[in-house]
Structure 1
């Protein structure tokens, strides 16, 4: 099933059903050799899922030496390692059959690839059996030409229910974040990008960002139309700090055709030095408004 009723509702509202059907032909279940080669070059992978106990949706960052993510079958990827025990997504990934979305994003080439399916723990980490595999265009993706792996050790996570002033400043300065959403049949993680300031903190417990024109599939907004739970991941590309937010989101449609998403925060996890990767300064996407 390429699209569910939530995505169809948004496509019809915007008037892009035919285009969505055309673009949707690129979604498959198999991992092609070129996609497998791309995965093995990546030092990071973002996963999204719902906590089986609380129902909260989170997005988490996994990192490793290139090759830590690889295709181990036509419809399977395997990940060496996994989230830290104190990561909010850890319980979900310890549960066999958990619906999970993944995205491998390469800032060096502005390429990204998504594999959505079912996760199961393995002796070396986890595996994901793919239900949907597809790539996205480079729109709104900032180029970062190089990275280095540092030896920094993750700090103790700081938890809360609202953004602190410092956290709000980091969100407002972000040019990229990842959005995890769920639906009745699975989960998905997408990328959102723009010039710094494109995400606005309107209150300690509320964020808002514009929904820029994309591929017309409306997978994320379709998921939110069916289930408002969502998780956001912000990464400090230099210091390695991650900021994970969980809450609910809804799309607002303006009379002029513009769209924006309003996110209400219910949980915050900030982890200093969570990522060992230090990336070079960004070159902003020419597609950014």
Structure 2
């Protein structure tokens, strides 16, 4: 097991500051900058994590490629061992691109409770990765607002896990992949900063808010907390990993590639959030067909999803 002092990573990095400046929200972001300071996993955050059954992580596989993956477990599988240590008691299955995730890298995580539209983002260093244990020394942990989280109830499956042979690996989207993306109301975006490490971020909207065209896939950026953690990372490093779900069946789609931020006229076609920003993703690799380990039994759309504009 390895230890590292992570306090030097507090505050906004240059990419985040640049996007905040372009968006004209520097003052709003500055008022929230204390959220990014080193914290202790105590009080409300520890209690929230103790009851969670769904976690998304962003990190690098043994070859160094960036992926975003889900982890599902019973209440208590997210174990706050100390004020700065989180243990994830779950095995990343062989069919997942982050199976065998190496230690020594910085990991991005988001724990979500879809039923109550609550989420907590956690960033830190992987210090142990053994069988069904992933241990992280936490640098940042803070709650995000409930915006764009679709309310759903997930029920864990009792069946067997997907094996490495049951997934499809490739470089091109199939017709089923495109249908899944175009019908999605939720996905997770993984990004990375060369000095700070990875981040896992939730994205939600009405079905169809992620478009697929001949140039790849893209989505409009909506107004949020103005921190621009994901877009700030993309401003300095275009690496990105996307994770889509077919929630009723539990099927997943992992995409790894690059994302570019495009700034343009506010309110143009496709600018559903009226921010002038869209993100355009180019695919390098995909892993499709892994079972999430849970499926949706109830669903209620977020009541203030922006309307599609094209």
Do they superpose with TM above 0.5?
yes
1:160 lines up with 2:177 in the alignment: no
Deviations 1:69-108 (A, max 9, x none): 12111111101123113321124x2x22111000001101
- 2:220 corresponds in structure 1 to 210
1:72 lines up with 2:94 in the alignment: no
| Aligned partners of 1:154 and 1:271 also within 8 Å | no
Deviations 1:22-51 (A, max 9, x none): 122223422122111111111111000123
The whole-number CA distance in structure 2 between the counterparts of 1:122 and 1:57 is 17
- 2:139 corresponds in structure 1 to 131
The whole-number CA distance in structure 1 between the counterparts of 2:149 and 2:33 is 21
1:143 lines up with 2:151 in the alignment: yes
| Aligned partners of 1:50 and 1:182 also within 8 Å | no
Deviations 1:137-156 (A, max 9, x none): 00000011x33222233331
| Aligned partners of 2:86 and 2:135 also within 8 Å | yes
Moved more, 147-156 or 100-109: 147-156
- 1:199 corresponds in structure 2 to 210
Which one of 223, 230, 233 corresponds to residue 240 of structure 2? Answer: 230
Change in 2 beyond 3 A, CA 1:120/1:85: farther
| Aligned partners of 1:57 and 1:230 also within 8 Å | yes
Q: For 1:78-89, list aligned pairs within 5 A.
A: 78-89=87-98
The whole-number CA distance in structure 1 between the counterparts of 2:301 and 2:32 is 26
Deviations 1:160-181 (A, max 9, x none): 1011011100100000000000
- 2:269 corresponds in structure 1 to none
Q: RMSD between aligned alpha carbons? A: 1.5
- 1:59 corresponds in structure 2 to 68
- 1:24 corresponds in structure 2 to 33
Secondary structure in 2 matching 1:286: coil
The whole-number CA distance in structure 2 between the counterparts of 1:255 and 1:238 is 37
- What is the TM-score with the length of structure 1 in the denominator? 0.94
- 1:261 corresponds in structure 2 to 279
The whole-number CA distance in structure 1 between the counterparts of 2:298 and 2:209 is 18
The whole-number CA distance in structure 2 between the counterparts of 1:77 and 1:282 is 30
| Aligned partners of 2:154 and 2:298 also within 8 Å | no
Moved more, 21-30 or 215-224: 21-30
The whole-number CA distance in structure 2 between the counterparts of 1:82 and 1:248 is 28
- What is the TM-score with the length of structure 2 in the denominator? 0.87
- 1:277 corresponds in structure 2 to 294
- Structure 1: runs of 5+ lacking an equivalent: none
Moved more, 127-136 or 276-285: 276-285
Distance apart, 1:52 and its partner CA: 4.8
The whole-number CA distance in structure 2 between the counterparts of 1:38 and 1:254 is 39
Secondary structure in 1 matching 2:179: helix
Distance apart, 1:258 and its partner CA: 1.4
Which one of 254, 258, 261 corresponds to residue 251 of structure 1? Answer: 261
Distance apart, 1:189 and its partner CA: 0.3
Moved more, 67-76 or 221-230: 67-76
